[in-house]
């Protein structure tokens, strides 16, 4: 009676449902798949934007360091506000990313 195919199927379905909801709850902190996907996409978009700005900031930092090494004070002065602006934007994105998670 325990090895009845319907019992096995029932246990299998119940296991899949429990695992499904556990993943949604523990990974996405939600019971809804739609909400979990939406949250994942929003977080991914923020992360992609953050990565893009971070790469840009690293490029500017490289140019700043080069200008500093070569005594190019005017170039250094031009780059500082750009780096500071990117730092502020990165801080905002970090907060958004933290709030989204």
Reported as a single tens digit per residue, the pLDDT across 48-64 is: 999 999 999 999 999 99
Rounded-to-integer distance, Cα 46 and Cα 100, Å: 9
Q: Give the number of other CB atoms < 10 A from CB of residue 90.
A: 16
Give me the phi and psi of 32, to 5 degrees please. Answer: -100, 130
Cβ–Cβ < 8 Å for 39, 32: no
Q: How would residue 2 be classed by pLDDT, with cut points 50, 70 and 90?
A: low
Reported as a single tens digit per residue, the pLDDT across 38-47 is: 888 989 999 9
Q: Report the pLDDT value the prediction gives residue 25, as an integer from 0 to 100.
A: 87
Q: Span 70-93, mean pLDDT?
A: 96
Q: Give the number of other CB atoms < 10 A from CB of residue 23.
A: 12
């Amino acid at each position: 009676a325990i090895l009845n195919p319907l019992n096995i199927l029932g246990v299998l379905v119940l296991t899949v449902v429990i695992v499904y909801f556990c993943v949604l709850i523990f990974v996405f902190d939600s019971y809804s798949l739609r909400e979990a996907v939406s949250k994942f996409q929003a977080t991914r978009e923020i992360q992609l934007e953050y990565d893009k700005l971070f790469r840009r900031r690293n490029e500017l930092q490289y140019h700043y360091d080069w200008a500093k090494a070569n005594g190019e004070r005017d170039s250094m002065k031009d780059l500082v506000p750009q780096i500071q602006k990117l730092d502020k934007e990165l801080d905002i994105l970090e907060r958004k990313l933290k709030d989204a998670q």
